[in-house]
Structure 1
Amino acid sequence: MVKIMLGDKVEKEISKIPLSNSTIQRRILDLSDNIEESVIFKFQNSLFALQIDECTIISNHAQLIAFMHVFDEDATINQFLCCKQSPTTTNGQNIFDTITICLEKYGFSWDLCVGICTDGALSMIGSVKGFTSSVEKQNPNIVRTQCFFTQRSFSFKDNTK
């Protein structure tokens, strides 16, 4: 890559620098941390919305995935927030606790959350113990929406018979 971008002379000089696997790994992690810090710093006090879904994978473990949509001046930035394995059952309180930990890790507050999009599962939208009910206790002004793409009530007819 160096040869293509900078030429033969620079490639020969760069090749003299010994790089071990641990050095490369450490540099990649440093770069990743730097990007993460920059993103967090830029969006920490911005309004955001969350899109959250959970599913059970083949090994019977529940996975929770969350995307953050941050409103930055004239644009909406879509950012992956987290993917976590649910420690126990997938009830609304566990989902709320998991997402709250992710938000707090990056310095985000429920006060700046303007909307949540989930599927229609009771653990998500239940009026008493659902995830969105727990969020509304933190921020009553949140707008709740339901994504019809993630509903599991679709049935497809097999017309091959």
Structure 2
Amino acid sequence: MSEDIENPVVEQIKQSPILVLQLDESTDVSSCAQLMIYVRYIHNFNFNEEFLFCQPLDSQTRGIDAFNKVDTVFVKEGLDWNKVGGVCTDGAPSMLGSHSRFQTRVRQFVPDVMTNHCMIHREALAAKTLPTSLNVILQEVIKIVNFAKNSALNTRLFRNLC
């Protein structure tokens, strides 16, 4: 997001009555921690989802470090924490918890914010405890979904089938 040019997406986000953030902290191939944020918002009576930013977490990956990155973007772009209605995190220890974690910091600004754990990461956690017979079925379903999402044509055909 450029400082010189107003970003039309940011302007749409500012006009939305509610925002939902999705965070993912992961390590790239050069062993650098990256924080990625997606935002869901309402514009022209439609739900939109946009990639808000990706920035490295320079030294540590604590919840306060992630929060400071997000807060810096919010201040720079003029976004309002009070419009945040939900936060979905990847479940990393730095995101969850009751003391200095990301979700706790957000609650200091928005006490009634809804928080949840990312569905993809839930699947990975659930798969670890499944009985073998169910895990085999889950793995087949994952193969089918991956095949359907493997190409644009497969995705369109699958959408039409459903």
Deviation of the 1:54 alpha carbon: 0.4
Secondary structure of residue in 2 paired with 1:44: helix
Q: Choose which of 81, 100, 103 in structure 2 pairs with 1:129.
A: 100
Secondary structure, in 3 states, of the residue corresponding to 2:51?
Answer: strand
Q: Greater Rg, structure 1 or structure 2?
A: 1
Aligned match of 1:50 in 21, 26, 34?
21
| Separation in 1, partners of 2:68, 2:87 | 15
Aligned amino acid, residue 63 of structure 2: G
Could you report, residue by residue, the CA deviation over 1:68-127 in whole angstroms, capped at 9, with x for unpaired residues? 001225211101100000011100000000011122222101111000001221100111
Paired with 1:45 and 1:104, the residues of 2 have a C-alpha distance of 16
Aligned to 1:68: 39
The percentage of counterpart residues that share the same residue type is 29
Structure 2 counterpart SS, 1:89: coil
Segments of structure 1 that go 5 or more residues without pairing to the other structure are: 1-29
1:28-75 Cα deviation digits (max 9, x unpaired): xx9xx76x5222223313211000000112222100000000122521
SS in 1 for 2:47: strand
**Structure-2 residue corresponding to 1:117:** 88
The match for 1:91 is: 62
Aligned to 2:114: 143
Aligned residue pairs total: 126
- Cα separation, 2, equivalents of 1:67 and 1:139: 18
Structure 1 counterpart of 2:8, from 38, 41, 49:
38
Mark the runs of 5 or more structure 2 residues left unpaired by the alignment.
Answer: 137-162
Q: TM-score, normalised by structure 1?
A: 0.69
Please tell me the residue identity of whatever aligns with 1:145: N
TM-score (norm 2): 0.69
Whole-Å Cα distance in 2 between the matches of residues 148 and 44 of structure 1?
27
Out of 46, 50, 61, the residue aligned to residue 79 of structure 1 is 50
Q: Is 1:103 aligned with 2:49?
A: no
Which aligned segments of 4 or more residues in structure 1 are displaced greater than 6 angstroms?
none
